[in-house]
Structure 1
Amino acid sequence: MKLEVNKEDKVSQHLLLTGKPGTGKTNLIKEAIARSKIKAGGFYTEEIRSSGIRQGFKIITLDGKEAILAHVNISSPFQVSKYKVDVDNLNKVGVSATQRALQECDLIIIDEIGKMELLSPQFRETVWQAINGGKKVLGTIMLNPNPFCDEIKHHPEVKVLLVTRDNRKQALAEIQSWLVENENRA
């Protein structure tokens, strides 16, 4: 069930979910933090759909700010697959929310560390600040190999949890257990 890069018995400082698209990683994070008492900040991403067809992605901060991350109908020099990526929106909304969370919260939510987000040098720098900043990070990270992501996955304080459609219930229980352990250490 699990892809655990950090296999030690101690509770890892950071928990990153990985898996194929559509396995519910973002929903697991949203559900788990809704049940947690830890003060959390940061952002998650959601699909933008029109007539049932995915048109792009938006960033939503835990305090309610929204911006388009990527869309088929925007102009940008940055592109991943068919989506043009708005790196400025990522920096203004996603990176800013993560930096605020580093100052004000006990738990940093970063959803996700993926191809689109990695186009921003500010985002990459902020991810490292979060990983090395002494706060807890709960997030998602791309499954496929990538030098930046692989370095994060192998950080000694990071545990990586593989989420599939078949293990969502167990994954939620594991996330909640990790949160409880971290609430007790906060």
Structure 2
Amino acid sequence: MHVFLTGEIGVGKSTVIGKVLAELNIRPGGFVTGFGPERASPDRRLYLNPAWEEPAYDEAHAVARFGGGLPPRPDFLADSVAFDQLGSGYLDACRTWARLLLMDELGPLERDARFFQRAVLLAINGVIPILGVLKQSGHPWMDAIIRHPAVTVLPVTAANRDGLPMRLAEEFRTKLSLHSDNESPC
């Protein structure tokens, strides 16, 4: 079972994920992306961190730099090498212990990060359940995720966001109970 949320910026996709994780009381494997304290700055950076640790907002975790452009198409420079090394590394590091993978979020910034893309697709072909976010502005590399038979893409809207966390938590709880505590789901 792999569920990817999609929706408008600010609709609450990451909030839904946070509530699902809190309800499941589980430490996920995988990764999270996010802006640091300089989020409002025109020269902000996007950071990639392991989902099981507190995020670090330093150069070692920076995967994209934004600056100068006006929304909705700000100028940015994605670091495909950083995506390849960090993202692939985080997915590999948790293969032996993770019962749930978090992928928050995937989008066109990773369009040139071939190793990262391969690691994501390998995880989707695996047995560890995934909860993730897909940017709405798609890119061809994301089509393989959207079309994958094991993937469900759920739009998050103002109308459904309050009910989604409990529904998803129950679905994941059922899926996660298929694995005993002593059995690795890998």
Q: TM-score, normalised by structure 2?
A: 0.78
Aligned to 1:5: none
Deviation at 1:88, TM superposition (A): 2.7
Q: Equivalents in 2 of 1:51, 1:139: separation in Å? A: 22
Pick the aligned partner of 2:40 from 52, 59, 62.
52
Shift of 1:130: 0.3
Q: Structure 2 unaligned runs (5+)?
A: 68-72, 180-186
Structure 1 window deviating more from structure 2 (103-112 vs 56-65): it is 56-65
Cα distance change on mapping 1:157 and 1:60 into 2, 3 Å: same
Name the residue aligned to 1:139. Answer: 132
Is 1:72 paired with 2:66?
yes
Q: Tell me the C-alpha RMSD between the 2 structures.
A: 2.3
Deviation track 1:53-110 (CA, whole Å, cap 9, x = no partner) reads 462321121232631121236xxxxxx8412112232233222111222332121111
- Of residues 164, 168, 171, the one that matches 1:171 is 164
Matches within 5 A, 1:1-186: 13-50=1-38, 52-53=40-41, 55-64=44-53, 66=56, 67-72=61-66, 81-186=74-179
Q: Name the CA shift for 1:117/1:146 in 2 (closer, same or farther; >3 Å).
A: closer
SS of 2:52 mapped into structure 1: coil
Cα distance, 1:92–1:122 mapped onto 2, change above 3 Å: same
More strand by share: 1
Gaps of 5+ in 1: 1-12, 74-79
| Aligned 8 A contact 2:33 2:47 in 1 | yes
Map Cα deviations across residues 101-145 of structure 1 (whole Å, 9 max, x no partner): 233212111111201123200111001110111211111112234
User: What CA distance in whole angstroms lies between the structure 1 residues aligned with 2:37 and 2:84?
Assistant: 23
How high is the sequence identity, in percent, across the aligned residues?
A: 25
Q: Which amino acid aligns with 1:69?
A: V
